[in-house]
Structure 1
Amino acid sequence: YLKKNFSYVKADTLQQAIKLFIQLGLNVFVLWVGALLVTHNRLSIGQLMTYNALLAYFVNPLQNIINLQTKLQSARVANNRLNEVYLVDSEFKVDRPVKSETQLIGPIELQNVSYQYGYGQKVLEAVNLRIMPNEKLTIVGMSGSGKSTLVKLLVDFFEPTEGKVLFNQQDTQTIDKKTLRQFVNYIPQTPYIFSGTIWDNLKLGNRPGVTQADIIHACELAEIKTDIEKMPLQFETLLDEDGNTLSGGQKQRLTIARALLSPAQVLIFDESTSGLDTITEGLLVDHLMALEEKTIIFIAHRLAIAKKTNNILVLENGRVVETGTHEMLVSAQGRYYQLLNH
């Protein structure tokens, strides 16, 4: 990168020098020849000055031609980048038969699922898992154990290298992606806030018939209502792109409130409470656990969340090494017990 940058600076400096040389060189040439003509009474001083002033109409187009080369290069690079986007096939190109969310209500199963990025090592290997409707599950494990990859397979961000992901016996490869993503809501660690009011941000992707009372209730569950009410314009407060006026924890709670207003029956929280203090996180998790009609999957490094869920999945090097409740895994004194005590 440094070599390329150095080459660019050298080429740019050379072009600037060429432009300046042409401009000053022509000025010197015109004044030199003009001065000789004036001394021989073949040209008046006024004519020479007029000719010299009109020289700019000739020099400027020359400079623009030199500048055109860099603009053409920039246009070529921009065209290549646009084509990288436009020439990629849409993920919605293939028509899939399962288009009703009611067909997805039932257990979620992973049958012998493996996944690898490109030609690298397997991130997940022979994972078997069954999640019952309305279950509360926590996936724990060391960084790089495949936790995020596992849940992204549930939203069909990736297709499994081997095995199947099933929703109520329906393979994700046969489920319409829009239908699947209305049924499963993935909330990443890095929240997405766009330019607009807090109302606008909360209304993104809402289920039909959401009322103002529903939005306020969702904010209460997400422990963000008090923070919004302290703002000068409350729900009408304008946020810039990325919501820089909010703290990291406030942005995370705002996206959690938005997820609660979606039609999704399955909510996946991928370290979505990492920016919160332990007290606020505890209250928020308690509210989420009380949602009896939703399946909730947590990915957590803080094992305080795992203690509250009715099932825990421990991943290590892409494999499921333990499953069970907090009490069962502590008494087994296996990998979960080691994570808990370190």
Structure 2
Amino acid sequence: SNLGYERMLLIQQALKLFIQMLLNLLILWIGARLVIKNKLSIGQLMTFNSLLTFFINPLQNIIGLQPKLQSAKVANNRLNEVYGVEKEFTEKTYINDVKKIVGEIQIKNLYFHYGFKNDILKNINLTLKSKEKLVIVGTSGSGKSTLAKLLVGFIKPSKGEILYENHKLQLIDKQTLRKYINYIPQEPFIFSGSIEENLRLGNKENVTIEDLENACKIAMIYDDIDNMPQGFNTMLDENGSILSGGQKQRLTIARALLSPADVLIFDESTSGLDSITESKLINNLLLSKSKTMIFIAHRLNIAKKVNNILVMKDGSICEKGTYTELIAKHGEYYKLEQG
């Protein structure tokens, strides 16, 4: 643990200091006695004392080697864990042309569970037409994010099928699939480099600076970038520490809009925004008629805007319809609305 590591580090630092002080004390004590007895001159004592550092420094370095070896061992273990992870591209796939999967998405009798645990998703049946806009709502743990990850192929269904234009998901090359469908998580990923480099990551070909600006305007991040001294050339560290949580989320949304994907899944991707900015951003996204969009949301104001609502409860789809229809039913969505 970190606490144990820090404790050992402090003990070793104290040990190095103790050895240095003890040797200095011994040399001065024994040397002073020899000077008193005229067996050693003061100059010789001072010379010997100064030369002592050539012995102490290597000794301290040997003691300081242990934490470095420990860190190297941990790094080696982590590296081996990464290399030990099974590749997700081991299965043989037959479909590697994006054009073949463009169109309707169907989910048939889908079940999912982790290991031997209970089903997280139970008997999910859903048809999503091309260019459709859908919002999925439900309480925490209802299976919304799990369903989204299944659509992108991050995890495999326990039972049932996911079809892209009647092609089974397991037969589609994963790289091809992810050119077609883009998952934008709640926690944004920012990479070391300029804002422009972050936006161009995974982009379609021939993206111009005008395309970058338009995507940033839709994602409501253009003004923030424009106000920075270096604009799109502003450098970011790996965590994007100079940006707020909401700015990072909007930057990743702009990146998704610049990708070649026809299907975008927004998994709580606007949770870090205030309600006014979020409302404008959702309005901008809904104006895009060329992309299929799935919004996973806790805030029901998004559901009102999309007006094509899927309600999940305990891993099942319990209601589907427009805002007016679901309110009139006085069912699960009505309960969520009432708080």
TM bracket (short chain): 0.7 to 0.9
Q: Which residue of 2 is the match for residue 217 of structure 1?
A: 214
Q: CA separation in 2, counterparts of 1:296 and 1:23?
A: 67
Q: CA separation in 2, counterparts of 1:334 and 1:84?
A: 47
What is the DSSP-based 3-state SS (H/G/I as helix, E as strand, rest coil) of the residue aligned with 2:188?
coil
Determine which of 301, 311, 330 is the counterpart of 1:333: 330
> How far apart are 1:97 and its partner, in Å?
2.0
Identity %: 56
Q: Which residue of 2 is the match for residue 178 of structure 1?
A: 175
1:267 counterpart = 2:264 = yes
TM-score, reference length from structure 1: 0.86
Q: CA separation in 1, counterparts of 2:270 and 2:278?
A: 6
Q: CA separation in 1, counterparts of 2:312 and 2:74?
A: 43
Bigger shift: residues 34-43 or 227-236: 34-43
> How far apart are 1:153 and its partner, in Å?
0.8
Q: Is the 8 A contact 1:135 1:310 kept in 2?
A: no
Q: CA separation in 2, counterparts of 1:248 and 1:22?
A: 49
Q: Which residue of 2 is the match for residue 299 of structure 1?
A: 296
> How far apart are 1:181 and its partner, in Å?
0.8
Call closer, same or farther: CA 1:243–1:51 in 2, change over 3 Å.
closer
1:278 counterpart = 2:275 = yes
Call closer, same or farther: CA 1:107–1:49 in 2, change over 3 Å.
same
Q: Which residue of 2 is the match for residue 187 of structure 1?
A: 184
Determine which of 248, 252, 255 is the counterpart of 1:251: 248
Q: After superposition, where does 1:38-187 map in structure 2 within 5 Å? A: 43-187=40-184
Q: CA separation in 2, counterparts of 1:70 and 1:156?
A: 41
Map Cα deviations across residues 234-276 of structure 1 (whole Å, 9 max, x no partner).
4444444443444433333332222122111101111222233
What is the DSSP-based 3-state SS (H/G/I as helix, E as strand, rest coil) of the residue aligned with 1:215?
helix
Which residue identity does 2:65 align to in structure 1? L
Which residue identity does 1:144 align to in structure 2? G
What is the DSSP-based 3-state SS (H/G/I as helix, E as strand, rest coil) of the residue aligned with 2:213?
helix
Q: CA separation in 2, counterparts of 1:304 and 1:164?
A: 31
Map Cα deviations across residues 264-319 of structure 1 (whole Å, 9 max, x no partner).
11011112222334343333323322322221111112222223335321111111
Which residue identity does 1:330 align to in structure 2? I
Call closer, same or farther: CA 1:329–1:237 in 2, change over 3 Å.
same
Map Cα deviations across residues 189-218 of structure 1 (whole Å, 9 max, x no partner).
222333444333322222123233333332
Which residue identity does 2:106 align to in structure 1? E
Q: Which residue of 2 is the match for residue 205 of structure 1?
A: 202
Aligned residues: 339
Q: Which residue of 1 is the match for residue 16 of structure 2?
A: 19
Which residue identity does 1:200 align to in structure 2? E
Q: CA separation in 2, counterparts of 1:155 and 1:23?
A: 60
Q: Which residue of 2 is the match for residue 311 of structure 1?
A: 308
Map Cα deviations across residues 21-76 of structure 1 (whole Å, 9 max, x no partner).
44344444445555565566655554444334333323332232222223222221
Q: CA RMSD in A?
A: 2.8
What is the DSSP-based 3-state SS (H/G/I as helix, E as strand, rest coil) of the residue aligned with 1:140?
strand
Unpaired runs of at least 5, structure 1? none
Q: Is the 8 A contact 1:114 1:163 kept in 2?
A: yes
